[in-house]
Amino acid sequence: QVQLQESGPGLVKPSETLSLTCTVSGGSIYSYYWSWIRQAPGKGLEWIGYIYFSGSTNYNPSFKSRVTLSVDTSKKQFSLKMTSVTAADTAVYFCARADVSGVLISGWFDPWGQGTLVTVSS
């Protein structure tokens, strides 16, 4: 079955750019939506945004000015870049897949990657 694996630096300095990649294995990257969701330590889940395999994107308005998602179908990867990070961006970052529902993204995420902890600190 499809598996997702996040990768990237575990430590980022304040004001710098956080960059993560999610690799899709065991399934196709085509005809799905791919999303990033984060969870600050001891806190709840926060949706960051999604990208369709074709490259169209939609972001949480809370992040819109700082976040860029991209996809590389040849590598079966999609990526997150978040600029101007602060300590408040310290979190476990999950990637996840969503199906197509009609002409929209479906209303749920499955499966999820295991998550990767990113700490923002000097």
Partner 1 sequence: EIVLTQSPVTLSLSPGERATLSCRASQTAGNAFAWYQQKPGQAPRLLIYDASNRAAGIPARFSGSGSGTDFTLTISSLEPEDFAVYYCQLRSNWPPIFTFGPGTKVD
Q: Indicate whether 57 belongs to the interface with partner 1 (CB under 8 A).
A: no
Residue 87 pairs in a beta bridge with none
Q: Which of 19, 57, 60, 68 binds partner 1 (CB under 8 A)?
A: 60
**What's the burial of 43, exposed, middle or buried (CB within 10 Å: 0-12/13-18/19+)?**
exposed
Q: Report the alpha-carbon distance of residue 63 to residue 43 in Å, rounded.
A: 18
Least separation in angstroms between residue 120's CB and partner 1 is 21
Residues numbered 100 to 119 that lie near partner 1 (CB under 8 A) are 101, 104-115
Binding mask 3-42 for partner 1 (x = CB under 8 A): --------------------------------x-x-----
Task: Residue 80: name the closest of 63, 97, 68 by CA.
Answer: 68
User: Looking up tokens 């602060």, which residue turns up?
Assistant: 86
DSSP state of 107: S
- Binding residues for partner 1, rule: CB under 8 A, are 35, 37, 44-47, 50, 58, 60-61, 94, 101, 104-115
